Chain A
Amino acid sequence: MNQKNDAVRMRQSGQILLIAILLSTVLLTVGLSLLDLTGKDTRITKIQEDTAKAQAAAEAGIEAALNDPAASEIDIASILDNEDYSGNVTVQELSQHSFSTPLISKDGQYTFYLTGYDPVAKAIISAAMTDNMVINRVTPADSGYCSGDQAFALELTFLSTTDGVVKRYLIDECDLFDGTTDEYDFAATIPSGDITPDPSIMVARVIAPSNNFDGAKLEVVNATEDAQWPAQGKTVTSTASFGESEITKKIQLFQSFPQFPAEFFVTQM
């Protein structure tokens, strides 16, 4: 009777051991898995952190460039005074054959520098303006834009630093205004020879009757062969990296030269 009891007791002990081993295995597996996840999260967090720092560094580079009218290239590390950062900022004033304006809102205007602007001297560059011009309508793109809320006219004012207003044209394909004197269409060539004395600035003002007008984007093309427009603003490119991850962010900002608000430029009451 005792032997029988002992045999039973031994079988039971083996089962317990097996269960314990199984439980230990499971627990170990779970533990190892948790440990792996934690490590990955840590790495992801690190990457995100570095990304944000790189982004911030790039933006700081933009800011630094904007605050220094004379800057052409800036070392990111020097800006932040931290060797963990790397990268640089470049400032360019790009001449272009054609220039695309930002979206100009209803009754807004864009100041286009025909002879250039010196951001250091904060002055318009005096030069002869001999280039012909074409104004293209980028948006609204619909050829039937005159039939609805997107109808607009474009008033072009050519200004001289010494003679003030020297010429005005109106692009009025939608016949929003009476009169046809000195009117052009989009894509037509506006000869510089018709504008005297030489202007330095062109102000393009969007006149849109509808409150639902979505804005106009224009392309100002230099219609003189091989000629380019002077820079219309600063192009700031900032590239920044941070830490061991060497995460890199690159952003570019175009800052226009001074823009007269239409509200200050038009006599209104």
Chain B
Amino acid sequence: MVIKWKLILSLFVITTVFSFASTTVSAQTCLQGAYTCKPFNCYNTTSQKYEYDSFDCTVQLDPLTQQCEVGLLSSYRTFSSTRHVNTNWNDSDAFVNCGSPGGCNQGFVGGNIPSCSGQQGGGGGGGSCPSGCSGSSPVCTANAGGDDCPAQWSGDDCADLPCAYRDDCGCGSCLENCSPTCEGTGCSGGGGSGGGGPTAAPTPTPTPAPSCTLTCPGTQVDEDIYNRAMSGSVKGVSTDLAQTSTGGTGGTSTGGTGHSGSENTTYSIAAGIAEGDVEFYGVNNFDCRIFNDGNGHQTPCPSPTIISGSGGTSDTGGTGTGGSGGTTKGASTNHPRKALPFIETLSRLLNAQVLRDVFGKVLGTSTLLAQTSTGGSGTGGTGTGGSGHNLITTWTYPVRYHILNAILPQSYTATATSSPLGGTSSGTPPTCSCSVALLCPATGQDPNDAGSILEGCDNQCDFSVSPAQEHVLTPLDITINTPPGFGNVTIDYDDGISDSLTDVDETTQVNHAYNNSGVYDVSLTCTTNGGGAERTCKRRLTSYCTGTDIEALPTATPTPTPTPGPWFKVQDSSFHIRTYVTSYAPSDATPYDSSDIGRCSATNPNPFACFSSGESGAVSVQSSLGEFGAEVSTKGWLRKDGNYVLNSLMTPASFLEYVKARKDYKVITSLASDQIESNRIHLYDPEVIASVSDNSIPDLIPAGSGIVVLVDGDLVMDMASEPNQIFNPSHKAITFIVTGTLQISALTTELNAIFVANQVDFAYDFVGAAETPLKIDGNISVMNTPLELCNEHRMRTDTRTKPTCLFQLDFENQFIPVIDLLSTRTYDWTELVPSSTE
């Protein structure tokens, strides 16, 4: 037992003596500056003097760890004294507060005085290696077939690899019996070099304890405020709460080469909901294995991003020159490492930059990341490697805490746990955690506002809530708004409960009450009756604590006006749509082209920032949910009425019958120009599909004349053969009445005609959203709701300020010349009594 203890102690002493490294220390107060340290080395029996090594060090504050660290480190053995005393950092003890082991209390405290004679022993060695590793230093190389081995580590000495990657890089089996090992005194031998001969046993310098910090979303508070919040004495999140960052690495070495567990907790409070990322920050090789988000999810820790790491290489036994400083991986280094490809390097630097900003904010500083150095001087003997790496890693994990305990604060605690430590001692795996105290919602939010929309909620799938603002346990009436085709819906209340309904129409209501206060994201999924198409809508609503005066709540931070998506507009026309429509005209809207005359209300500073411009007519929407942005038109005539069913008597089919019965017409067998006559109605029953692909028809129509083409079937308008893909640039009067579907090619940009069709496809030859804008100058009248509105099937990407589609009523050019062709008559018949003379 005694032998074992001595062995452990000696290994520890040798390791730490050789590694005047890992000088990151726990900080109470860090006195930054340049210092000279003169730790005792040996007693020179020849000169009869005590010899000291002299170290010139620069101490600075690590902005991340808030620990002292040694920057420039050099060592040389020049100083000797007859004084038989220890020295510390600087004679003035300026750095005393950094304490051991960061301080220079390296000297012996009694006992045997090491003799300088016989010095120059072996340097810091890597220990022995198992079969397959050569020499005294592990020379196993990484990525022995490991597919998951990061490229930057490939081919490197296994000893240089961070522990987290060793298994992936095929180093685990090679190094597991090596000394040092990951779980031992360090990932690799430090930069210990040859030291002197037998030395006095210095005070062991424990390797820094792995530790981590988790930061939860919400307002960071100290533990006292958090506890008061959980007890109910803090009712909300106040901006004047001190934002303190607690933590810092703790833990002490409990002996051996292992580390005991350390625990570190940060605290946050939030009102109603805390969502965002839990941010992890691990130092000193914290090997995170398990993450529990405190909300029912436990997962392996996400793959970390390495901010910095260090580690010297192992030396074989040497001649006892001074130990070299450790290096920071990825930074300028003096140990052999192949250069990272530029892109990888840049990428890592950028990552580090981002993370630095993140943590700089958290910690209240924006100073550069510390580059910790390790390694140290060897002091001879059989020296094992110096100190290990100080690997700093980070990752994030999205969380969302949103449900209270009825009306009481609810605590959520996320925890990161490392792997059990190996080495020669076992300890509790270090953990870190963050806790969020979720308090009663403290701001108002109307779930029926556009600002509450989190996802979807278009014309095919939406819902409204009544009452809009409610207390917990209050029953809610949720009205489903879907067109007739989307009859199957599933609504998820975000509290673990959902409902599925069929045969839904715009009057369908469901009822729900929340048992716990909180903020809920209610999701509605609408599916067509045939199951072919699916739309979603997600809105956020708040269930307030009982007793909360909802009316007195401050208004929630105004949600920015939804970024206008692709939109369409009409000009000079009355407009009716048989379904919900979203066509936000942005406040900075610009004209579609020179024909867009604009004109909105007098109070609108931008004449183009409304849905219906020009001499606008009434706008009616067969839905309670029509969105046109700030202003529908200069008149403001808008009716949103889900029960408004437009009465369409004169459909293309009925007009066809009317023409056959009442009007003069010509039957044609194609749309070739030689079959077209001016001022005639043409009946065309195509065998397959009618197609217009050029301007030969308008070219033959004299100015002031017009034609009507009745297509008993589908009509394709594909102007690919024409410059700019424009049909009828001369604006001749042409009307197409289509009993089937008007199919417009995705690249067609402009159609100058009147189109009356049973259905329309604004980009029939394109799946998804085409980017080409479309203008129809004349009119377009569709008897059925398009499967996709123009701003859904076409989404211009060149600018958001111009409408994707513009529909203009061109009365003078398109209607007037065909007034006799494109019209009906009314008749009023009366029988009179003939006079006596008749």
Contacts and interface: CB of A to CB of B under 8 A. Distances in A.
A267 B573 contact: yes
Contacts of B618: 153, 155, 170, 177, 207
Interface in A58-115: 87, 102, 105-108, 110-111
Contacts of B636: 178-181
B815 interface: yes
B557 interface: no
B450 interface: no
Given A164-B812, A256-B825, A259-B825, A250 B635 contact: no
B583 to A, nearest CB: 12
B647 A264 contact: no
B819 A168 contact: no
A147 B638 CA distance: 20
B596 interface: no
A161 B816 contact: yes
A265 B646 CA distance: 14
A163 B812 contact: yes
Contacts of A170: 618, 635, 637
A269 B760 contact: yes
B830 A267 contact: no
Contacts of B819: 122-124, 258, 260
B638 A177 contact: yes
Contacts, number: 196
A39 to B, nearest CB: 27
B783 interface: yes
Given A159-B811, A267-B570, A261 B786 contact: no
Interface string A163-180: 111111010100011111
Interface string A5-34: 000000000000000000000000000000
Given A209-B643, A267-B779, A168 B811 contact: no
Interface in A179-204: 179-182
Interface stretch (B88-96, B585-593, B609-617): B609-617
Interface stretch (B214-222, B649-657, B711-719): B649-657
A101 B77 CA distance: 115
Given A268-B575, A269-B760, A250 B832 contact: yes
Nearest to A162: B812
A180 B754 CA distance: 30
Contact of B635 (A153, A165, A182): A182
A111 to B, nearest CB: 8
B826 interface: yes
Contacts of A255: 825-827
A264 B781 contact: yes
Interface residues of B, number: 68
A249 interface: yes
Interface string B421-460: 0000000000000000000000000000000000000000
A65 B195 CA distance: 126
B824 interface: yes
B620 interface: yes
A122 B616 contact: no
A107 B822 contact: no
A160 interface: yes
Contacts of A251: 829-832
B620 A102 contact: no
> Which one of A155, A182, A267 has the greatest number of beta carbons of chain B within 10 Å?
A267
Nearest to B819: A258
Nearest to B639: A177
B379 to A, nearest CB: 86
A178 B650 contact: no
Interface in B775-819: 779-783, 785-786, 789, 807, 809-812, 815-816, 819
B231 interface: no
Given A153-B618, A179-B635, A252 B826 contact: no
Nearest to B779: A267
A248 B815 CA distance: 43
Contacts of B644: 209
A157 interface: yes
5 contacts: A107-B648, A168-B617, A211-B647, A259-B823, A268-B646
Given A124-B816, A209-B643, A267-B781, 6 more contacts: A164-B809, A237-B832, A256-B825, A266-B574, A267-B574, A269-B760
5 pairs of A and B residues whose beta carbons are closest in the complex: A179-B636, A258-B823, A261-B650, A254-B828, A122-B820
Interface of A: 87, 102, 105-108, 110-111, 122-124, 153, 155, 157, 159-168, 170, 172, 176-182, 205, 207, 209, 211, 233, 237, 239, 241, 248-269
